[in-house]
Structure 1
Amino acid sequence: MNLPESFTNRIKTQLGDDYDAYMNCLDQGMHHGLRVNTNKISVEDFLKISPFELKPVPWTINGFYYDDKACTPSKHPYYYAGLYYIQEPSAMAPASILPVEDGDVVLDICAAPGGKSTELAAKLHGTGFLISNDISNSRAKALLKNLELFGIGNMCVVSEAPNKLSTKFYQTFDKILIDAPCSGEGMFRKSQSMVTAWENNGVELFAGLQRGILNEVVKMLKPGGTMLYSTCTFSPEENEQSIEYLLSLDDTLELVEVPKYPGFCNGNPAWGKTENVELEKCARLWPHHIEGEGHFVALIHKKEAEQTQVFQSWIHRGCKPDKNAEEFLAHVSSDAGIRSAYIEENKGRLYYMAEHMPDVSGLRMLRQGLFLGEIKKNRFEPSQSLAMYLKQGQFDNEVNLTSSDDRVLRYLKGETIEASDQKIKNGYVLVLVDGYPLGWAKNTNGTLKNKYLSGWRMMS
């Protein structure tokens, strides 16, 4: 690889005798991974139906390596059913290590494109609430799609600057993930363009951005809460020194030992400026020690306080859906958990708002809650996000096809398909592959008019 001299000089100083091993690994191929969506399917059940040969990723129970020369998971119907997320293996570590528990209120502050947010949401098991933020509105659209694909309903997707969030959410979150913008030294093997970006920006720009974010997240973490800081870069300025800066902001913050899986290295106090031996509790994932591109991970706990701020909850306004929407929703079973008291309308669009969600009013919002569908003249059109949220048996009119059925691919490409072999009623049907929803169609005597969201369709 053609690497900048200033980078190789620094990394040689950092690694010493390990330098040659690091440089040699860059000439080898990348490692490819997928992470099972445990919001839809257990790891055990996925392995029973997986069409791919998989090998476990050691630091996450639902992550696996696959051979990109032998298979293309992004083209399989299970990908479109949201059964897994394609993710670089070391990037699975942050969301896996952050100890999210049922009922937590969680913030992912630099969330796009959603690889980590989807895992945080899955770990909530439908409880609590997730706010996923990205300051880039265009990137936040990809984030929203991935959360909807994963079937997540207890979430909001926002696009705000950190200082706007901290004004709104003082001491609100039990858990916060900061996968900080960084110089991307762990991405050099992926693309030469990352090397060019590093040359243009260096590490100083990103170290400054990180400190600006840390200034705000420290205000949003509840006493007793935990945050995780991560980057995909190796520079001390963006890692150990950023953690030193964070600790300087609040004397109730303390580092927590990151689990040291095989190949994980300690953080290095010598690369900081304060000689804080606690920095060893951080973890460095070097690509010549693990099967992955590399990461830095630090866990930080905020000590309990005698009094804590109680966050402002969303005021549920409720609404009575119009007749057409009400008739459609009557076909959704009660065990889907969509309670009428938490359905709200905004300009003809219906949303299910989670019971225990913070007040998100006044923020630049891409989505608040689960989008159920849209009230049109004399009809109700259910949303793609509702289809992905539902599980088999939760809608009373379903077409279940096998993944080998050519109608599945035709449906994903937006075509009309025939389903005269299925016992279904006229009207909206939920189309599934091997028991997992893909989207909607409208049946007329066995002919299914395709209602799969056009922007999600499989390209030929």
Structure 2
Amino acid sequence: MRLPENFEKKMRDLLKEDFDDYIACYEEPRYYGLRVNTNKISVEEFKKICPFEIEPIPWIENGFYYDGENVIPSKHPYYFAGLYYLQEPSAMTPANRLPVEPGDKVLDVCAAPGGKATELGAKLQGEGVLAANDISNSRAKGLLKNIEVFGIGNVLVLSEEPGKMESYFTEYFDKILIDAPCSGEGMFRKDKKMVSAWEEHGPDFFCNIQKSIILQAARMLKQGGMMLYSTCTFDPRENEQVIEHLLKTYPEFRILKIAPYEGFVQGMPEVTESRDPSLADTVRIFPHKMKGEGHYLALVQKGEPCDRVKGELTGGKGKKKLPEELEEFLNDVKKEIRTDLLDIHGERVYVMPAGLPDLKGLRFLRTGLLLGELKKKRFEPSQAFAMTLKKDDYEKIIDLPLEDDRVSRYLKGETLDVDDLVETKAKGWYLVCVDGYPLGWGKLANGTLKNKYLPGWRLNS
């Protein structure tokens, strides 16, 4: 593989005696990974039902390698059920090492396509709020889909400049993840096109953007809150020097140790002006040291640790009188839906996360969980709502075994004959599952299930 001469020189200076091993790793194949959605299934249960061979990623408890040359997990029904996300192994590390707890208010600043946001949301276990932002509206649409497939309902999906968000969310978040836009040096082996992109926009272009984003995010973090900064590049200007800039600007921040793994390499204080020894507690991931691509991580805390105020996310606006058609549908829902958090905009019904500030003026793709739409004398539940449910959360289900050809036909949008699975006179909304894991809705009449699987999500033959 051809690498730019000035990049090779920089890496030789950075790695010294390790340089030859680093160059040799370009002859090795890239690694493919999947991450289990622990909001839907346990790791142990997934290992029992996984339809293809997997091998544990040793530093990610819910991460696995798979054979990406011979297996296509993105075509499997379990993928459509949101049981796993496909992600490069090293890229799993930032969200894994940010200690998110249920009930936290969490921000993913540069979230598309959603690899890290989906893990942060799964860690919340339906409590608290996940704000997932990406400045690109088109990329944010893909982000929204991945979050909805994962069954994350306590969410805000934004497409905004981080600087504009500051005034709305000043010292609001308990945890923030910044997977910053970067020159991508760590991904050269995975994607050779990154080399020409690097030649067009290298570290000098990105480092000022990164410094701006980290300061904006710092002002949205609560006292005692934690922030994880990451890149997929090697250049000190985008890594240690960005953290140095944060510490100089806001001295109340301090670097925390990251849960170790034997392949991690410590950060390099010597590449900074201050030579702050605490920068050694940041982490570098090199592809010749681990089975993954290149990454950098730094975990910092704002001020002294403090306990989150329990119960601050519980406040709604009091019980509302529901439209009759919505109430009728909710009679079949066994999962608790907090009616005090319902927000009806025209036909659309949302369940909002509690404890939000006034968000008027921000550009959103989604605020809360879209429960469904009110039509003339009927309520149509949304695809997003189906994905937040477990099999036992809804009264009427059609549970198809994986080997049943109606699974793939449902995912392709076909009408199904299901009179062998339901009572003769049964009708209404049914939750369609594969092996007990929800896929979406269908509307039943006379033994025939009208397919309500979202057209934009359908399986292509």
Give the TM-score range, shorter chain.
over 0.9
Q: How much does 1:288 deviate?
A: 0.5
So what's the TM-score if we normalise by structure 1?
Answer: 0.96
**Gaps (5+ residues) in structure 1?**
none
- Aligned twin of 2:416: 417
C-alpha separation in 2, matches of 1:290 and 1:257: 19
C-alpha separation in 2, matches of 1:448 and 1:361: 40
SS of the residue aligned with 1:259?
Answer: coil
Amino acid at match of 1:102: P
Residues 120 and 305 (structure 1), Cα distance of their counterparts in 2 relative to 1, 3 Å cut: closer
C-alpha separation in 2, matches of 1:271 and 1:91: 24
Residues 108 and 327 (structure 1), Cα distance of their counterparts in 2 relative to 1, 3 Å cut: same
1:283-312 C-alpha deviation (Å, 9 max, x unpaired):
000001000011100000112399999999
Q: How does 1:95-134 map to 2 (within 5 A)?
A: 95-134=95-134
Q: How does 1:43-442 map to 2 (within 5 A)?
A: 43-304=43-304, 316=317, 319-333=320-334, 336-424=335-423, 425-442=426-443
Residues 283 and 449 (structure 1), Cα distance of their counterparts in 2 relative to 1, 3 Å cut: same
Amino acid at match of 1:253: F
C-alpha separation in 2, matches of 1:359 and 1:458: 39
Q: How much does 1:355 deviate?
A: 2.8
C-alpha separation in 1, matches of 2:275 and 2:411: 56
Amino acid at match of 2:302: K
SS of the residue aligned with 2:391?
Answer: coil
Q: How much does 1:318 deviate?
A: 6.2
So what's the TM-score if we normalise by structure 2?
Answer: 0.96
Q: How much does 1:380 deviate?
A: 1.5
C-alpha separation in 1, matches of 2:406 and 2:163: 49
SS of the residue aligned with 1:288?
Answer: coil
Q: Is the 8 A contact 1:397 1:428 kept in 2?
A: yes
1:318-363 C-alpha deviation (Å, 9 max, x unpaired):
6433222221122111xx2212221110121000112344443321
Q: Is the 8 A contact 1:172 1:309 kept in 2?
A: no
Residues 439 and 181 (structure 1), Cα distance of their counterparts in 2 relative to 1, 3 Å cut: same
C-alpha separation in 1, matches of 2:47 and 2:357: 37
Q: Is the 8 A contact 1:313 1:358 kept in 2?
A: no
Amino acid at match of 2:329: F
C-alpha separation in 1, matches of 2:112 and 2:457: 17
Amino acid at match of 1:422: L
C-alpha separation in 2, matches of 1:301 and 1:420: 58
SS of the residue aligned with 1:223?
Answer: strand
C-alpha separation in 1, matches of 2:420 and 2:49: 24
C-alpha separation in 2, matches of 1:404 and 1:308: 47
C-alpha separation in 2, matches of 1:323 and 1:57: 50
- Percent identity, please: 54
C-alpha separation in 1, matches of 2:313 and 2:447: 50
C-alpha separation in 1, matches of 2:268 and 2:301: 19
